[in-house]
Structure 1
Amino acid sequence: MKTVFLLAGLLLTLALSGCGTVDGLGQDISAGARTVQGWM
């Protein structure tokens, strides 16, 4: 179970460093959600 949390933390860190800001990450998540809704 600990491995799952480590992976989640690593992905979150990579996402934050990639976007640079939490706002950028929020926009990415919103865009991803819209894309998924478009598939439905």
Structure 2
Amino acid sequence: MKKLSLLFLLLAMMTLSACNTIEGMGKDIKKGGEIIEKAAK
């Protein structure tokens, strides 16, 4: 659980720092969700 929380925090930080537009933010969030989904499996 602690690792998953850390992963989510890191993804959130990358998402917020990497996107310049709403469209870019949506793509970043989608990619982060895919990574979390893979980690959960």
TM-score normalized by structure 2? 0.52
Q: Which consecutive segments of 4 or more residues in structure 1 shift more than 6 A?
A: none
The root-mean-square deviation of aligned C-alpha atoms, in Å, is 1.6
Q: Relative contact order: is structure 1 or structure 2 higher (C-alpha 8 Å, sep ≥ 6)? A: 2
Unpaired segments ≥5 residues, structure 1: 1-14
Instruction: Figure out how many residues of one structure are paired with residues of the other and give that number.
Output: 25
Q: Which has the larger radius of gyration?
A: 1
